[in-house]
Amino acid sequence: MNEWILKYMDYLKYEKRYSEHTLLNYERDVKEWFSFCQREGINEFEFDYSDVRSYLNDCYTHQLSRSTMSRKLSSLRSYYQFLLKEKQVKQNPFLIMKGPKKAGTLPQFLYEEELQALFDSIDQTSILGCRNYALLELLYGTGIRVSECCQMKQSQLNVELGTVLIHGKGGKDRYVPIGEFAVEAIEAYLQRSRPQLLKKSNLETDVLFLNHLGTPLTERGVRDILSRMTNQTAKHIKVAPHMIRHTFATHLLNNGADLRSVQELLGHENLSSTQIYTHVSKEHLRQAYALAHPRARKDRK
C-alpha cells in the first residue's frame, strides 16, 4: 500500500477515531481514485479541478448513489487536506468541488414492539445470549455508535452512577446516562458471561464486549449478531446496527425529549444532524393521527 495512504489511515484511526467501517470505505475511495489517475495518466500529487471533474463524471457513468458520491468526495477532500498539512501537495482541488445533494430519505427505526421482539428472541441463559442481551441493551439504552461500543472498555462504565464515558468521533468525549435495564444486563454479562469468554483466549484486555473466541468484538461481529437475532424473530425485521441508534433518538423525541438533549446524547456536532429525527417523529404523529382520528380517512366506516 502507498506510504501516504498508510499514514493517512493511521491518522484517521488513532487521531480522528473513525470506525472500522469508515476506515475501509475511505481506504477504498482513495485507492479507486489512484486507479483512475493511473488509467488516465494523472499525477495524483499534481492535478487540477478539471481532473476532479473527469473523475466525478466517471463515477456518474457507473451510476453510483448520491450518498456514495458524497462520501467519495469527503474521503478525497480529507486525504488531500492531510497531504497539504504534511506538505506533500501544494493544493487541494477537492475543496472547491461540491458533491451531489443527498436524497431526503428518513432514517429507519424500529417500533417498540419490533424492538421487544429482538429482546425476546435472545436466550439469556447461554453465554453468548447473555452477552447479546447486554449488547442490545447498551446500544438501545445509550444510542452510541457501533464503533464506540466495540472500542468501549470496562473502565468507561460507572454502573453505580449509571453513566458511561464515550470516546466519540474526532477525539471528542461525552458522558451518556444508562438506564436500569442496561445496567442490569451489563452486570449479568460481566459476572456470568465475560469471564467464560475471556478464558478462551487468555488475553488480558479491558475491552467490554468479547466474541466467541474471547477476543474483542468487531463492528462486523455486531452486524452478524443483529442479523442472527432478526432471523429468529417472528417479524423477520432487517436490522442494521445504526438502526438501533436511530431508534434510540426517535423514541426519545416521540416521548417528549428536547432536541438539544438528544443532540448531546448522540454526540452530534451540529444540530442539523439531529433535526432529521424530528421528521421521523412527525411521521410517527401523522400515522397515529391517521389510525386514531375518526375523520382522518374517508375509507374508515
Active-site position among 13, 21, 268, 284: 268
Query: Would residue 286 show up in a list of annotated catalytic residues for this protein?
Result: no
Strands of the sheet with 173-177, listed across from one edge: 157-158, 163-167, 173-177
Query: Would residue 277 show up in a list of annotated catalytic residues for this protein?
Result: yes
**Dist. CA 213–CA 205, nearest whole Å:** 13
**Dist. CA 220–CA 222, nearest whole Å:** 5
Question: DSSP secondary structure string, 115-161?
Answer: HHHHHHT--TTSHHHHHHHHHHHHHHHH---HHHHHH-BGGGEETTT
Query: Would residue 175 show up in a list of annotated catalytic residues for this protein?
Result: no
Active-site position among 18, 80, 189, 277: 277
Q: Which of helix, strand or coil describes residue 269?
A: coil
Query: Would residue 169 show up in a list of annotated catalytic residues for this protein?
Result: yes
Active-site position among 169, 192, 200, 284: 169
Which sign does the torsion angle of CA 181, 183, 189, 191 carry?
A: negative
Question: C-alpha cell of 41?
Answer: 495518466
**Dist. CA 125–CA 296, nearest whole Å:** 47
Active-site position among 131, 245, 246, 251: 245
For residue 145, give the nearest of 224, 252, 219 by alpha carbon: 219
Query: Would residue 298 show up in a list of annotated catalytic residues for this protein?
Result: no
Question: DSSP secondary structure string, 107-122?
Answer: PP---HHHHHHHHHT-
Query: Would residue 245 show up in a list of annotated catalytic residues for this protein?
Result: yes
Active-site position among 72, 145, 194, 246: 145
Active-site position among 17, 174, 242, 284: 242
**What contacts 215, CB < 8 A, 6 or more positions away?**
201, 203, 205
Q: What is the DSSP letter of 4?
A: H
Active-site residue list:
145, 169, 242, 245, 268, 277
